[in-house]
Amino acid sequence: MATKEEILQNFNPNEIGIDNGNLLGLPFDYESANIIVFGVPWEVTVSYGGGTASGPARVLEASRQLDIYDFDNPEGWKQGIFMVEIPAHIQQKNEALRQDATLIIEHLKQGDRIEDNPHLSQVLKNIDRECQNVNQWLFDNATAAINQGKKVAVIGGDHSVPLGYIQALAQHYPDFGILHIDAHADLRDAYEGFQYSHASIMFNALQLPQISKLVQVGIRDICQDEINIIQQSNGRISTYYDPMLKQKLYAGIPWLELCKQIVAELPQQVYISFDVDGLDPKLCPNTGTPVPGGLELEQTYCLFRELLHSGRQIIGFDVCEVGDGEWDGNVGARAVYKLCNLMG
């Protein structure tokens, strides 16, 4: 097997990206890579548009169209990035359970209670159990990579996907913050009855005492319960709502200044959770729950750069809710590669 030095010597980053099963056609394997990327094709609890389970495959496919030079880290690719094969067993389970979840969601839309229906109550328990199995799979695989000194990235699937990885980081870091880009606050307690709903990811993550701060950016679709959780969090959650950010921009406050204010709220070590519906929907039109408004991709990069300029460290990230579209995959691949290079 080739050493990392041999791999670097024999690879020409100016050539066309080859279809070798890895992001950008990079020449690394699990052993030689410093960043391990897990694609998790899971969207069982999606409540609006489907297709995000195809996100990891779309990102992988589109990534070969990207040029490897990165303005923030021109030799970032040399750290070694390897995307593990997308797990077929999770994809198959997702397709089967998606139908079951739709039954539950349709039942709720009729105004009926799941508790009054023994069959659907059992279906719901089964979905929660299978979601927990996916969490455990990701926890085990992320932990194994972290224990080998590697960094980890996750591509969803819907936004429920990264919980197992966040739990793995909590075993490794006694104190860290989450920088959360999203149109939604994701602070619902078991949304639509599903304990591991895509709308509950931050509610579930905050059960981990190691997460000292959650800073949310771009939020513009939110319910009163979530507002209450934010207001009653004693400063543990800071939310930068999209309409308020826009108002400040219209008043002439530079985006860079706003980025500095946002970053100042975070602790030394930061996990980035990037739901692409935090972006303007023109960038990822096939995302699961698009909302008008949102950020430009460069605005998020500027924010991430400010995080590093402040001396803080990116310890991991996810990019979720990439829809089943060629353009969505293209934008998602750029976000994944940029975050790999910034994390490195």
Provide the whole-model pTM.
Answer: 0.97
Measured between alpha carbons, how far is 40 from 320 in angstroms, rounded to an integer?
Answer: 9
* Mean per-residue pLDDT of the chain: 95
Residue 312 has pLDDT above 90, yes or no: yes
pLDDT at 185: 98
pLDDT at 111: 82
Question: What mean pLDDT do residues 322-344 have?
Answer: 97
Enumerate the known binding-site residues: 159, 182, 184, 186, 275, 277
Residue 101 has pLDDT above 90, yes or no: no
326 neighbors 261 (Cβ within 8 angstroms): no
Q: Quickly state the pLDDT bin for 154 (edges 50, 70, 90).
A: very high
Distance of CA 221 to the CA centre of its chain: 18
User: What percent of the chain has a predicted confidence (pLDDT) above 90?
Assistant: 85
Please state which of the ranges 44-48, 124-128, 298-302 shows the lowest mean pLDDT: 44-48
Measured between alpha carbons, how far is 98 from 96 in angstroms, rounded to an integer?
Answer: 6
Neighbours of 180 (CB within 10 A): 27
Enumerate the known binding-site residues for Mn(2+): 159, 182, 184, 186, 275, 277
pLDDT at 271: 99
CB burial class (10 A; 0-12, 13-18, 19+) of residue 119? Answer: exposed
Encode pLDDT of 102-117 as tens digits. Answer: 888 887 888 878 887 8
pLDDT at 103: 81
Encode pLDDT of 188-229 as tens digits. Answer: 998 888 888 899 999 999 999 999 999 999 999 999 999 999
Residue 1 has pLDDT above 80, yes or no: no
Encode pLDDT of 235-282 as tens digits. Answer: 999 999 999 999 999 999 999 999 999 999 999 999 999 999 999 999
Measured between alpha carbons, how far is 308 from 313 in angstroms, rounded to an integer?
Answer: 6
